[in-house]
Amino acid sequence: MFRYKAIYNGKKISGHINADDSHEAQQKLFKKELLITSLFPLTMKKRGIILLKKELFIFTSELVKLLQAGLSLFEVLITLEEKYRGHRAHPLLLDLQEKIKEGRHFSEALRGHPNSFDNLYISMIENAEKTGALTKALQELQNLLEKRQVLKKKCLAAIIYPSLLASFSFVVLAILLFYVIPTLSELFEGRAIHPFTAFILSVSRWANQMKGALAASVALFIIGGGYVIFSGKGKKTFSPISSHFPVVKDLFIKIALAKFCREGASLLSGSVPFLQAIRLSKASMIHPELEKIIEMAANKVEEGGKFSEILREAPLIPPLVTRLISIAEEGGNLPVMLLHIASLYEDEVEKDLTRLTQVLQPALLLFIGFIVGFVLLSILIPLTDVNSFLNT
């Protein structure tokens, strides 16, 4: 694969071309009547395009639709490569197409892009290739990615409005402390003032003296919050801290179990072996304590233990989960039961997020009202002392 820059009809153009070597690439470009100005091989570093979660879902959905239309995998990749020419993901599609053309398995081609396709995705494709059920596996992955996006959107929606209210509270407080109160402070110089007023004036003076440190603290808080919300490592770092807050602790456990059960069900439905499925699924939990429990359970299952009985010994695993898994093990329908558990906890997460939002909204509004009211009261009290102004 080569990246080229050329001139065509007096215009500068660029693109990619597939060829065995640079000489063949030049010949192909000459046939297109292009004046080549730059031609170089597309290295793996340059190919290392990372598909966003939304892009991965769209890619998987299009694979499913085209395979269902009767196209072969290679024809599907050619179609997508032509569609996404000029898109930033185009080199990735070219690389997949090239490897399939060389006779490699699709899972092997995907493994060359670990930042876009995780182990779960690759494992499902690999097992599907053995059973000849690639389209079905991609449908499972499509559903799984869709559920991931839905759960993520619900969590973000619950965070956005309280965050906006908190930001508004901070802006109002900053305006009062840095602009309003300093302009009024001259009115109270040399006068005996109420303790409320004295407190607000001292806080305003301190805030103005510490502007730089406060700005740095706010910036660090915003960066840290973004790291915790959007980074897997950040979530794992925050997870042990969240265990000290009962509401957040239960919510994180439910989210982790919903992810584990849904991904475990998808892997088992895709004929992935049980131990491999639960080990791959635990990586999606982003909860170090629960991941340790699942890994310990997997190790004991290898020694002949029963999965549900091992989980029953872990206090963080709800009794409902172990009871339903035990019933599924006896009935031989574990993938179906895991899907039921996932749906159950996804519904509970949505209800908990709704309740949490309903509590946070009035609490933040009361906080704003209290702060603004306290500051205004501290300023108005001395202004109502007419005698004091007349004497001055």
Cβ(289)–Cβ(241) under 8 Å? no
Counted residue by residue, the chain has a size of: 392
Sheet strand arrangement including 11-17: 11-17, 2-8, 35-41
Residue 279 sits at φ, ψ, to 5 deg, of -70, -35
Query: What radius of gyration do the chain's Cα atoms show?
Result: 30
The pLDDT value given to residue 46? 44
**Residue 235 pLDDT > 70:** no
Average pLDDT of the residues in 239-258: 75
Q: Which pLDDT belongs to residue 223?
A: 77
Residue type, 367: F
Q: What is the mean pLDDT of the chain?
A: 81
* C-alpha dihedral sign at 112, 116, 122, 123: positive
* 187 secondary structure, DSSP code: G
Q: Rounded mean pLDDT of 312-334?
A: 88
CA–CA separation, 76 and 97 (whole Å): 9
Residue 125's SS3 state is helix
Model confidence at 61: pLDDT above 90: yes
Per-residue pLDDT reduced to its tens digit, 127-147: 888 888 889 889 989 988 888
Give the Cα-Cα-Cα angle 73, 76, 82 (nearest 5 degrees).
145
Report CA-CA distances (Å) from 144 to 73, 132, 256. Answer: 21, 20, 14
What's the rounded Cα separation, in Å, for the pair 105 and 127?
11
Token code pair at residue 257: 């179990």
Residues 282 and 259: their CA atoms lie apart, in Å, by: 8
CB proximity list for 52: less than 8 A, separation 6 or greater: none
Is it the case that residue 350 has pLDDT exceeding 70? yes
Question: 258: which 2 tokens?
Answer: 């919903």
103: left (phi over 0), alpha (psi -120 to 50) or beta: left
* pLDDT (tens digit per residue) in 78-104: 888 888 877 778 788 888 888 888 888
Rounded to whole angstroms, the Cα distance separating 63 from 124 reads 15
Spatial contact of 60 and 138, defined as CB atoms under 8 Å apart:
yes
Q: What are the counts of helices (DSSP H) followed by strands (DSSP E) for the chain?
A: 19, 3
Give the H/E segment covering residue 37: strand 35-41
Confidence class for position 240, pLDDT limits 50, 70, 90:
low
pLDDT of residue 390: 46
Instruction: Name residue 33's amino acid.
Output: E
**Predicted confidence band at 229 (pLDDT cuts at 50, 70, 90)?**
low
CA angle 241, 244, 245 (to 5 degrees): 105
CB contact burial 129-146 (16+ within 10 A = b; e otherwise): beeebbbbbbbbbbbbbe
